[in-house]
Structure 1
Amino acid sequence: MFNKIPDRRGTNSYKWDLKREDIIPLWVADMDFEVSEEIKEAILKRVKHGVFGYTFRPDSYYNAVITWFKEYHDFEIKKDWIVAVPGVVPGISFAIQAFTLPGEKVIVQPPVYRPFYEVVVNSGRRIVYNNLIERNGYYEMDFEDLERKIDKDVRMLILCSPHNPVGRVWKKEELEMLGEICLKNDIIVVSDEIHADIIFNNKHRVFLSIDEKFYNNTIVLTSPNKSFNIAGLQSGNAIIPNKLLRNRFERIIELQHLGHSNIFSIVATEVAYTKGRHWLDKLLDYIYENALFVKKFFEKELNIDVNLPEGTFLMWIDFRRIQNPHQKLLNAGVWLNDGVEFGPGGEGYQRMNIATSREILKEALNRIKTIF
């Protein structure tokens, strides 16, 4: 099912069409696989209707989201907690505008997804770095550093859970500790959980599920975009139990006139969450085998230890023994994300997207071998 992928060249693909044709792109985090047949069929049915006017989300959409979280993540949410957003990063932007003022501070935990920095800076807020601690390729939160850096101007912390790019799936006690610190200091937690469904030999815990007291200061942002490869449809949801926070968040969306919905994102999300479990299970098996394949190659052929991701379809690889690795990889015909994009602690690392066919991975790895 996943070994054969469509040719994405010439489709205005952000991943495949931005560099020269001989480069294998393993960078931006979308998958090369076709979506499930159920999603394709549902979208085609909607296309055949032929009218694509303004649309609202029906009850069946909300029921699909609620059921997915209950069955897949063992967390029960209520319909009125759900606020539709056009994606997780826009959701973070809305939260910053709703709950912070220009000049106030937002904490991020680098090395982390680059748009976190961009959305903070572009909103006129200040970044506070709470760097992750790395030990032999395994990353942990630095709670002592976090508490030292909190002052009266810190109003928000953006959590990446599971973490992109280091692949951690945070343990319950880690999330609990983080939540206690933020609650004590009246800090809003915005938890980006877009990779929550892509977990290996582990369990993702929705941040809101840790303790009901965190309902008062937490927004969870989710989306089927990564799990079901529908990022181009711009689908997402904010889960906000606290009514006051939810009203302020919704007000920002109203002010920007972003309340209308993408017709196809509604269809795809509902079908993904109601009929996508079997496809996702097979996807996870394939991606995990890809991760094992990459790990074995680096260790056997290049004598580099690589940690398996606990979650996401991304691998965080240490290239520090190579000078200027990103350019050398491009020269060899492989495009990874340069670790410096992810902020402090990313220097010398590269992020590899392994959600592609085994044959493409094999060719890319053989090219990578040439730079060593």
Structure 2
Amino acid sequence: MKYDFDQIINREGYSTVKYDLREVIFNEKDIIPLWVADMDFATAPEIVDALQKRVSHPIYGYTLQNDEFWNAIINWTYKRHQWKVIKNELVFVPGIVPGLGMLVQALTNVNDKVALFSPVYPPFYENIEKNKRELVNIPLINNDNYYSIDFGTFEDELKKGCKLLMFCNPHNPSGRVWKKEELEKLLDLCDQYDCNIISDEIHADLTLFGNKHVPFASLSAIAEKRVITCMAPSKTFNLAGLNCAYLIFKNPKIKSLYLDEVKHMHLDFGGTIGTEALKAAYNHGEDWYQELLKYIEGNIKYVQEELKDTPIKIMPIEATYLLWLDCRGINESASMIVNFFHQKAKVGVQDGRHFGYTGAGFMRLNTACPRSVLEEAIKRIKGNLE
């Protein structure tokens, strides 16, 4: 391989959430942190080179997102997903999570019903409840260790006046890639009951094992009317700390509502470093990206093989580098399962309850680390299962 994903890089002492908060999160410092969704790989050297070149100029004033920035997004989106977007449909946002909250504020009113399918990424809950909207929690159907959407329950909630759906595509934490037919069925229901859709597609570029991501808004003219797409290079290229993401509005009326909400807060333009990183990633990061996917697939296969004869069941993964572990075979108590990983095995995976009550008994494990680190983590887990 051209790039060294086996390299272990010390991240301690750099104000790193994943490492420098270990004692706060787990009450343990001697723990392998495989929880928060960033990677322990050096990002593409082409990105580092671009940032070093920009940093060498000693003035870091207000930065313009010019045509080079927008064209990088346009070209990447078309190359990856065969989806055509144009500059006027794009809006900078300082991270998808802030974008989710601002979209909720722009598209709904206080006490409006906003739906999600659980378990799901924790900030979904926060952005609904902290904005004083009514959370409509619809559990996914777990059919033989594979999630599907409960369309019947969703329609019942739409009939009660649900105004907005927050949707994770691909799904975090399970790594499911939603099929075109599933998206079409969701869209039909939302259009019938006048419900818009926020589609968080931050993991869109991390599809694995031949699976293909379908941008929700690419389905049809109705999808363009109903769906707002959230994307970023942060998960794909390990750039989460640079606060650079973007929203895609195919519906200009919804875009106007959003801009009315955020422009007075000056949250529609970005900083110097994030701007340069996005351009370098999308314009020059292809080779690194392709090797990354192969390495992650290898890590996932390793974990699947090592845990196949244990009480831990791994939900089949189609995207992301995050494994959703059904650990109910270890213990009936979710708290005891957490204690097993954190206190006994000393492996810092994420408690499934963070993703909603339907995540009880599950744990989320981040495989985006050097193989030797993963091997040590699995050794600790298996050794303490005996």
TM normalised by structure 2 equals 0.94
Q: Quick one: percent identity of the two aligned structures?
A: 39
Moved more, 102-111 or 15-24: 15-24
> Is 2:180 aligned against 1:172?
yes
Q: Which moved more, 1:18-27 or 1:144-153?
A: 144-153
Are 1:237 and 2:242 counterparts?
no
**1:116 alignment partner in structure 2:** 124
Q: 1:72 deviation in Å?
A: 0.9
1:325 aligns with 2:317: no
Residue pair 2:77, 2:84 contacting (<8 A) in 1 also: yes
Structure 1 residue 275: Cα displacement: 0.9
Q: Distance in 1 between matches of 2:8 and 2:213?
A: 29
Q: Which residue of 2 aligns with 1:13?
A: 16
For residues 158 and 259 of structure 1, the distance between their equivalents in structure 2, rounded to whole angstroms, comes to 21
Residue of structure 1 aligned with 2:275, choices 254, 266, 269: 266
Structure 1 residue 182 and structure 2 residue 190: aligned?
yes
Give a deviation string over 1:202-221, Cα, whole Å, max 9, x none: 10000111112211111000
1:265–1:289: structure 2 CA closer, same or farther, 3 Å change rule?
same
Does the aligned pair in 1 maintain the 2:230–2:246 contact within 8 Å?
A: yes
1:13 partner letter: T
Instruction: Report what 1:207 is aligned to.
Output: 216
1:131 maps to which of 109, 114, 139:
139
Change (3 A) 1:228 1:259: same
How far apart in 2 are the matches of 1:235 and 1:308? Answer: 30
> How much has 1:27 moved relative to structure 2?
0.1
SS in structure 2 at match of 1:176: helix
Question: Is the contact made by 2:312 and 2:329 (CA closer than 8 Å) also made in structure 1?
Answer: no
Is this contact kept in 1: 2:38–2:235, CA < 8 A?
yes
CA contact (8 A) 1:295 1:307 kept: no
Q: Size of the alignment, in residue pairs? A: 371
**Distance between the aligned counterparts of 1:307 and 1:296, measured in 2?**
13
> What letter corresponds to residue 137 of structure 1 in structure 2?
N
Cα distance in 2 for residues equivalent to 1:214 and 1:71: 20
Q: Secondary structure at the match of 1:284?
A: helix
* Superposition deviation, residue 12 in structure 1: 1.0
- Aligned twin of 1:279: 288
Residue pair 2:311, 2:329 contacting (<8 A) in 1 also = no
- Could you tell me whether the CA contact under 8 Å between 1:292 and 1:308 is conserved in 2? no
1:1-372 alignment runs, 5 A limit: 1-19=4-22, 20-200=28-208, 201-300=210-309, 302-323=310-331, 324-331=336-343, 332-372=345-385
Which residue identity lines up with residue 199 of structure 1 in the other structure? T
d(CA) in 2 for partners of 1:29, 1:192: 15
CA deviation digits over 1:44-95, x for unaligned, max 9?
0010001111112010010010000111110000110001000111111111
Q: TM-score, with normalisation over the residues of structure 1?
A: 0.98
Instruction: Report the 3-state secondary structure (helix = DSSP H, G, I; strand = E; otherwise coil) of the residue aligned with 1:150.
Output: helix
Q: What whole-Å deviation, never above 9, does each CA across 1:125-156 have from its counterpart, x for those lacking one?
A: 01101211111211111111110122353110
CA distance in structure 1 between the partners assigned to 2:106 and 2:354 by the alignment: 27
- Aligned-CA RMSD value: 1.1
User: Secondary structure of 2:49's match?
Assistant: helix
